[in-house]
């Protein structure tokens, strides 16, 4: 939807500032399996393997669809697997990619540290690893490039939205986080930065973070963590959830406690379910990501790597705040 990008130097996982004439893994099986298990009719140039945190989250499914489409345009097959938030399973999937000698691996780390040994094995096998959405923070590994949202900037937008939602009264706030994902850590950091500045500038109406709990990026856990907090803090005024599923779970808990008119929810993502909830007034606002662009850009980065061309090792896409005003004018919402 938006095409404004911020090009920054990638510091995560030991990257340098740019690439120039790298040796790439050129091996390509003659008949690789596609994401649906079929065999292509004609030989392909190679296989791009994709393991996100989960494919049950629509956000990662949109990335996968665009990876597959962009790869096909360039003559590459895509192998997609679902670790279902399990870093052990994801590590085993990377091991399998190495055995299959794929051309490149696209990774959304289930755990930004614990996936390190598997990535290192791919490095040693000469298979380039790229990350999308969330970085890898493991020491001693090589990541060839990253495409994601400017999550810190998005977190700042979320903080400003919370200030607007709570108004002059301020109040107590819950954060539903996901600390094992680098992208979510940055969102919370940006959110907190704005709230700290807000509180320092006033003597009353401050916003207090009373709890920071794991929402696991999913509706069930978001609902549970919110319900627990509502029991302890009956005067809770706001919730910041790091993605749409956990925000929707938070709303279910708020609704069950009959406090939907007293608790304002700020989400993050911009998926159809989240945007619909904003239109209904269930969520106040959310910074919007662009997973379609992430899928396209990560494949284009891999193509430049394969060709030995120079490229920026980090592409960050600015988030855009989505409110009820945008929801009411959104042609994609019924």
DSSP 10-38: --GGG--SB--S--------SS---TTS-
Count of structural domains, the chain: 2
Output the pLDDT for position 2. 39
Output the pLDDT for position 43. 74
Taking a C-beta distance cutoff of 8 angstroms, is the pair 96, 71 a contact? no
Please check whether residues 109 and 63 belong to one and the same domain.
yes
Please check whether residues 20 and 79 belong to one and the same domain.
yes
Output the pLDDT for position 30. 34
Among candidates 234, 213, 246, which has minimal Cα distance to 54? 246
Cα–Cα distance measured from residue 108 to residue 102, given in angstroms and rounded to the nearest whole number: 17
Task: For the chain, give the longest Cα–Cα distance.
Answer: 69
At 183, which CATH number? Answer: 3.40.50.2300
Output the pLDDT for position 42. 59
Among candidates 138, 181, 49, 131, which has minimal Cα distance to 301? 131
- Domain contains 163: yes
- Domain contains 333: no
Interhelix angle 116-124/87-100, rounded to 10 degrees, is: 10
- Domain contains 118: yes
Please check whether residues 167 and 130 belong to one and the same domain.
no
Residue with tokens 């406690």: 257
Q: Name residues whose C-beta falls within 8 Å of residue 203's C-beta, 6 or more positions apart in sequence.
A: none
Output the pLDDT for position 139. 94
Output the pLDDT for position 58. 86
Please check whether residues 203 and 250 belong to one and the same domain.
yes
Dihedral sign of CA atoms 5, 11, 15, 21 in order? positive
- Domain contains 165: yes
Cα–Cα distance measured from residue 12 to residue 280, given in angstroms and rounded to the nearest whole number: 39
- Domain contains 1: no
Strand 285-288 and strand 320-323: pairing?
Answer: antiparallel
* Structural domain for 122, as ranges: 6-149+290-317
User: Residue ranges of the chain with pLDDT lower than 50?
Assistant: 1-40
Please check whether residues 244 and 300 belong to one and the same domain.
no
Output the pLDDT for position 182. 86
Please check whether residues 108 and 95 belong to one and the same domain.
yes
Count CA within 13 A, CB hemisphere, residue 322: 29
Cα–Cα distance measured from residue 17 to residue 5, given in angstroms and rounded to the nearest whole number: 17
Taking a C-beta distance cutoff of 8 angstroms, is the pair 193, 156 a contact? yes
- Domain contains 142: yes
The pTM for the full model equals 0.78
- Domain contains 253: yes
Strand 6-8 and strand 76-80: pairing?
Answer: unpaired
Please check whether residues 139 and 155 belong to one and the same domain.
no
Output the pLDDT for position 9. 32
Please check whether residues 223 and 162 belong to one and the same domain.
yes
Quick one: which H or E segment has residue 134?
none
For the stretch 123-145, pLDDT in tens is 999 999 999 999 998 999 999 99
65: how many CB neighbours lie within 10 A of its CB?
16
Residue 209 CA to its chain's centroid (Å):
23
Please check whether residues 177 and 204 belong to one and the same domain.
yes
Please check whether residues 298 and 173 belong to one and the same domain.
no
Please check whether residues 80 and 207 belong to one and the same domain.
no
Instruction: Annotate 47-83 with DSSP letters as a single string.
Output: EEEEE-S-SSSHHHHHHHHHHHHHHHHTTEEEEE---
Please check whether residues 142 and 227 belong to one and the same domain.
no
Q: What share of the chain is helix, strand, coil (3-state, %, to 5)?
A: 40, 20, 40
3-state DSSP assignment of residue 282? coil
Residue 247 CA to its chain's centroid (Å):
14
Sheet holding 285-288, edge to edge: 207-214, 171-177, 236-241, 264-266, 285-288, 320-323
- Domain contains 159: yes
Token digits of residue 276: 């619909």
């Amino acid at each position: 939807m938006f095409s404004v990008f911020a090009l920054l130097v990638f510091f995560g996982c030991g990257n340098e500032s740019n690439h120039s004439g790298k040796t790439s893994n050129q091996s390509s099986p003659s008949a690789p399996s596609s994401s649906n298990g079929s065999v292509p009719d004609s030989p392909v140039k190679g296989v791009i393997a994709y393991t996100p945190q989960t494919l049950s989250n629509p956000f990662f499914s949109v990335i996968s669809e665009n990876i597959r489409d962009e790869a096909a345009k360039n003559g590459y097959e895509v192998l997609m697997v679902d670790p279902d938030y399990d870093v052990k399973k994801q590590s085993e999937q990377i091991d399998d990619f190495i055995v299959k000698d794929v051309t490149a691996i696209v990774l959304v780390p289930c755990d930004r540290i614990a996936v390190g040994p598997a990535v290192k094995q791919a490095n040693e096998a000469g298979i380039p690893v790229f990350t999308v959405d969330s970085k890898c923070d493991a020491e001693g590994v090589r990541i060839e490039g990253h495409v994601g949202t400017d999550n810190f900037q998005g977190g700042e937008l979320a903080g400003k939205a919370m200030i607007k939602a709570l108004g002059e009264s301020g109040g107590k706030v819950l954060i539903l986080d996901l600390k094992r994902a680098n992208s979510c850590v940055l969102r919370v950091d940006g959110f907190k930065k704005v709230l700290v500045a807000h509180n320092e500038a006033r003597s009353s109406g401050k916003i207090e973070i009373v709890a920071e709990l794991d929402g696991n990026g999913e509706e069930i856990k978001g609902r549970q963590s919110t319900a627990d907090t509502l029991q302890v803090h009956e005067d809770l005024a706001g919730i910041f959830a790091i993605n749409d599923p956990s925000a929707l779970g938070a709303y279910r808990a708020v609704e069950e406690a009959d406090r939907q008119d007293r608790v304002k929810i700020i989400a993050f993502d911009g998926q159809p379910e989240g945007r619909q909830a904003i239109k209904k007034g269930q969520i106040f606002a959310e910074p919007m990501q662009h997973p379609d662009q992430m899928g396209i850009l990560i494949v284009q980065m891999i193509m430049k790597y394969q060709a030995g061309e120079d490229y920026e090792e980090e592409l960050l896409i600015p988030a855009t705040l989505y409110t009820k005003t945008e929801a009411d004018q959104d042609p994609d919402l019924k």
